[in-house]
Amino acid sequence: SWQKREISNFDYLMYLNTLAGRSYNDYMQYPVFPWVLADYHSETLNLTNPHTFRDLSKPMGAQTVERKRKFIQRYNEVEKNLSAQCHYCTHYSSAIIVASYLVRMEPFTQTFCSLQGGSFDVADRMFHSVKSTWESASRDNMSDVRELIPEFFYLPEFLTNANHFELGCMQDGTVLGDVQLPPWADGDPHKFIVLHRQALESDYVSAHLHRWIDLIFGHKQHGSAAVEAVNTYHPYFYGDKMDLNNIKDPLIKSTILGFISNFGQIPKQV
């Protein structure tokens, strides 16, 4: 049905997320969606230009040549007998990532605060700008490889601070309120969602989405194909590969479970 364009890219991704065990009912295994755009600075969004889009054949850690080189170097330098050999020690989807995106809406506000120990995070680390979050996850921050959640393609309300939460003030003096949107959205959350959804359903994404699906849900998820694709994560993230029943030490078992709950879980391979 998807190949015949009888269902949308959005519907297909939701279907795959469901097959892989992802659910809105579990923040630790929340549906994961891709960053599809790389242009958060233009006044108008050109969906016919390939450079407008993120490289869907590569994980977030390999979006730039320099960043990819650093993660490969990390992988090669780790001594197998001392530590887990992987490209990434953080994950692209976790409870804190989901709650941080949706922090301006209840019940996610309370969820975020509880995960943070009872209060909001330092303002500079809060989700406050689509552009700066993209730059962090794709280029600047070696501990940030986050992807998106479905709400980025249908829910404008999560981008506004309608409840007037006091989210703090950044070091440059900016008081956090509504999420800062790209210029092409004209400051309108509804326009952002409409254009972002159009980008998801565009010809370019339709032609390349299967490459991202291979990374997240398919054969490049683990093993030699994942190594070649610069797409390996800490072994604890592969929940279905960890046989917790064979781990007798309760401290080790609780440590692994805590690690998974805090940092995320790879979807079941489809």
- At residue 175, φ and ψ (nearest 5 deg) are -85, 125
According to the model, what pLDDT value does residue 83 have? 64
Burial tier of 33 (Cβ tally within 10 Å: 0-12, 13-18, 19+): buried
Higher pLDDT, 83 or 46: 46
Partners of residue 88 on adjacent β-strands: 233
According to the model, what pLDDT value does residue 247 have? 73
CB 109 within 8 A of CB 165: yes
Average pLDDT on 134-155 reads 97
| pLDDT tens-digit series, residues 3-61 | 999 999 999 999 999 999 999 999 999 999 999 999 999 999 999 999 999 999 999 99
Domain parsing of the chain, residue ranges: 2-261
The pTM of the full predicted model, rounded to 2 decimals, is: 0.92
According to the model, what pLDDT value does residue 253 have? 73
Q: What's the CATH code, domain 2-261?
A: 1.10.1540.10
pLDDT band at 243 (very low <50, low <70, confident <90, very high): low
pLDDT band at 256 (very low <50, low <70, confident <90, very high): confident
Average pLDDT on 151-164 reads 97
Dist. CA 101–CA 92, nearest whole Å: 13
Higher pLDDT, 163 or 117: 163
Q: What average pLDDT does the structure give for the chain?
A: 92
| pLDDT tens-digit series, residues 187-225 | 999 999 999 999 999 999 999 999 999 999 999 999 999
Helices (H) and strands (E) in the chain, counts: 9, 0
